[in-house]
Amino acid sequence: MLRTLPAALIALGAAMPAAAQSVSAHYPQSIVDALRDAGYKAVLTVDDVGDPKIDSAASGVSYSIWFYGCDGSGERCTDVQFVAGFNLDTALDPMTMNDWNRDNNIGTAYLDEEGDPFIRHHIFSLDGYPRPAFEDFLSVWERALADFKVLIGW
């Protein structure tokens, strides 16, 4: 019995879908599930070109997760990018964005053509990313959003 138990466990693990074991841009639903399990809202939609897009929120900020490198099927994407934008009444100083980018490694900041600030973070080759590591990233992303809100006075 002891010899067959490890083999049975290995077989059970192999039978489980990869999306249940990890987070992957290949399977957008795996990211939705990980967000929801971590207590965040997550709504899976599609963007203007038919690629998956997830709408979520953290620290009182709505953000989107955009998918890149998709094969046209709505799955098998390679990368994701977390993006939050803020509509301000007054254009922000570009030096504020430069300061953020110099001092922070999570979330690249930039201004759009109207001077409104955005923060984004790109995750390359998100395939088979361990769920605990993804949840750790979500915590760091949430802190970055909170800090960015303070920086821009939002």
Q: Can you give the pLDDT at residue 80?
A: 95
Residue 30 and residue 42 in contact, taking contact as beta carbons nearer than 8 Å? no
Q: Residue 84 corresponds to which amino acid?
A: A
- For the chain, the structural domain boundaries read 21-152
Q: Can you give the pLDDT at residue 14?
A: 37
Q: Can you give the pLDDT at residue 2?
A: 35
Residue 66 and residue 77 in contact, taking contact as beta carbons nearer than 8 Å? no
**Block mean pLDDT (10 aa), the chain, length 154:** 34 40 91 96 94 95 96 84 96 95 95 96 85 94 96 94
Supply the CATH classification number for the domain 21-152.
3.30.1460.70
Whole-model pTM: value is 0.83
Q: Can you give the pLDDT at residue 24?
A: 93
